[in-house]
Each structure stands twice: as structure tokens, then as C-alpha cells.
A and B are shown apart, each in its own frame.
Chain A
Amino acid sequence: HFFGRKQNCYSIAIKYVHRALRYGVRARKIKKYENRKLWDTRLTAGCLELGTNYTNMKSVMDDVGIAIDRKTLQNMAIWEPRSFRALASLTKAKEEEKGLNCLGGPSSVGVVTRGML
């Protein structure tokens, strides 16, 4: 993938080869960061299409205890859209209960106070 003298002459080529190797080493860290950003973008897009948002989905999944990572989630959103839609419906159902996106706090369904509060 080097052009011209860079691929045929040793003393010129060696500089560019060293640079390519350095880029390769640096890119290993960056790849993880870039991939995660890409997955986040995809999941935000998927959630918005279905009427929730990504932050709510993360919050609800933490609460309920579904520990699916971003990589698998974005694969689901692309290749298994109906399963992803099920998760979005779960988010929509739970976000009201948790009190996300509204001024009032979490609803008191399921909280036993016995008159102490």
C-alpha cells in the first residue's frame, strides 16, 4: 500500500514502515474507543426510532438487571430488531415508573411505607 519510491527503495521505505507500525500500535487503543462511540451512536438512533432514548434504556436495564453489553445490543438492533423492540417497550413501560423524563420523582408503586414516611 506504499506508492512509488516508498515501496521500492529501502532507506526511504523504512521510515514509512516505521510510521505505519507506530500507527498500528497506537490504533489498538483508539479502536476500542472508536468502536464504543459507534455502538453508542447506533443505539441512540435505534432507541429514538422506537420512541425512547438511550440514556433511559441504559438506566432501565441497570434497574431490571439485564446485563447486555453495547456490542451485543447494537448487533441485536441491526440483526434482531424485534428483540431490540421488546427491550425498548420494556424501557417505555419502566421509565414512567422510575420517574425519568418527568418532574415528579419515581412512582411509589411497590414501596411499602407502613405510614412511617
Chain B
Amino acid sequence: MTTQTWNRFWGSTFVKAPLRNGVGRYVQQLQRITFKFCKTHGCSQGMREYIEKELIEFARVNPGVVVYLKPRRHRSPCLKAEYLNGGEEYISCHRMTNEDIVKWVEYLRTRSGYPVERLRKYQHTDHPSIQGAWTPWIHRDPLVNIAEYPIEELSAAFKTEKTATDEVLELFEKQKLSGEVDVS
């Protein structure tokens, strides 16, 4: 098949948080983690080391996360994370070291349950307008609301340019102010 791409195959969403998480209180979205490993095979060596050394500390620090261990013979090690909104993440830990697994567990802990998709916009707001959105009447004189039709001013033709009469009147006004014309 062709190579996958962000736009067509991996999908795109807008920015969102589950139930507006973080606006008020932040709730960790990780519900449970399952560590599946083999007790003897070499590919699970890093995972076994993690379970011996780091797992108890992780469980103590995150009391809201349920940790399951599944020792299964002849299976590759993997991490399965499930989130509060029903989303799931699967990461294969085949031949990973202890340090790698620490980092991946941290990654899973901080995810929300939504799948990884291209963000169409980097911002989201429920209230895009402060002054109030545009309406057809926002720039019009509110006297139109109580007007009684017909109104001569509104029915008149639009004046696009200054007429000759207007220009002459303006000139006259200017000359009056500068005192050239004798008004009496």
C-alpha cells in the first residue's frame, strides 16, 4: 500500500480536551496500564527490570491508575493503556531497555484518550467574540427600529460624488470664514 500520510489516512481534528479537562481541575486521563511480558525470553528483559525496579514507585505516585501485569509465555512484551474516554494505546516493548520503558510509560501517562491526529487549528474557543458577532444591523442607526415609513432621507438616491451645487456652497462657506465675502 502507499505510505500513510497525516492528511488523508491518519485524519485531522480540532483541538479538544475531554470534558474541558484543565480549564478547572486537571484529572489524569489514564485509567489502566497492562504490562504483558514473558518470564524467560530475552526480549522482555528490559520490561522485567522495569517491573522489579520502577513499577512500584510508578504505582505509588499514580494512585488513580490501575496496573495489571500479564506474564504470558512466548509473547513479546507490550504496554496497553486505556483512558477515561475509552481510547486505547498499544506500544510494543520488544527488546526495549528499562530506561526506554520508563519514557514510554510517562508518555502514556500524559496522553488524553484521543487518537493522534493532525490539528487543523492550534486554538479553540467557545467564545470567539467579545463585542458580539457581526449582524446586518450592527453598523446601522438604531433609529431605524422606531421609524415610521416612508422616510424621505432613506428613500433618496445615494450620493456618490459631490454635486456642483455642493461644491459651490462649500466654497462660499470657506470664503465666508476667511472673511473675503461681505455677508451683509
| Chain A residues close to B by CB (< 8 Å) | 14, 17-18, 20-21, 24, 49-50, 77-83, 85
Binding site for A on B (CB under 8 A): 1-2, 5, 7-8, 128-134, 138-139
Given contacts A17-B2, A78-B133, A80-B131, 15 further A-B contacts (CB under 8 A): A14-B1, A14-B2, A17-B8, A24-B5, A49-B139, A50-B139, A77-B134, A78-B134, A79-B130, A79-B133, A80-B130, A81-B138, A82-B131, A82-B138, A85-B139
Chain A residues with CB under 8 A of B7: 24
A-B contact pairs, 8 of them (CB 8 A): A17-B2, A21-B8, A79-B130, A80-B129, A81-B131, A81-B134, A81-B138, A83-B131
A21→B1 CA distance, assembly (Å): 13
Q: Judging by beta carbons under 8 Å apart, are B129 and A79 in contact?
A: yes
A32 CB to closest chain B CB (Å) equals 15
Task: Given the known inter-chain contacts A17-B2, A24-B8, please indicate yes or no for A79 contacting B139, CB distance below 8 A.
Answer: no
Q: Out of B1, B8, B139, which one reaches A81, CB within 8 Å?
A: B139
Main SS at interface, chain A: helix
Q: Chain A contacts of B129 at CB under 8 A?
A: 79-80
Distance between Cα atoms of A14 and B2 in the complex (Å): 8
Q: How far is the CB of B177 from chain A (nearest CB, A)?
A: 17
Residues on the B chain within 8 Å of A79, using CB: 128-131, 133-134
Closest-by-CB residue of B relative to A27 is: B7
Classify the secondary structure of B's interface with A. Answer: loop
Contacts of B134 in A (CB 8 A): 77-79, 81
Among residues of B, the one whose C-beta sits closest to the C-beta of A88 is: B139
Which of chain B's residues has its CB closest to A80's CB? B131
Interchain CA distance A82-B1 in the complex, whole Å:
53
The minimal Cβ–Cβ distance linking A53 to chain B, given in whole angstroms, is 12
B131 cross-chain contacts in A, Cβ below 8 A: 79-83
Q: Which 8 A-B pairs have the closest CB atoms?
A: A79-B129, A81-B134, A80-B131, A82-B131, A24-B7, A79-B128, A81-B138, A78-B134
Q: Considering the chains assembled together, what is the distance between the CA atoms of A40 and B90 in angstroms?
A: 47
* Minimum CB distance partner of A1 in chain B: B8
Contacts of A18 in B (CB 8 A): 2
Q: What is the CA–CA distance of A85 and B134 in the complex, to the nearest angstrom? A: 11
**B129 closest partner in A (C-beta):** A79
Residue of A14, A20, A83 near B8 (CB, 8 A) is A20
Q: Contacts of A20 on B, CB cut-off 8 Å?
A: 8
Q: How far is the CA of A21 from the CA of B7 in the complex (A)?
A: 9
The distance in angstroms between the C-alpha atoms of A20 and B126, with both chains bound, is 33
| Contact residues in A for B139 (Cβ distance below 8 Å) | 49-50, 81, 85
B5 contacts which chain A residues (CB < 8 A)? 21, 24
Residue of A whose beta carbon sits closest to that of B6: A24
Alpha-carbon distance A79/B131, docked complex (angstroms): 7
- The smallest beta-carbon distance between A24 and chain B, in angstroms, is 5
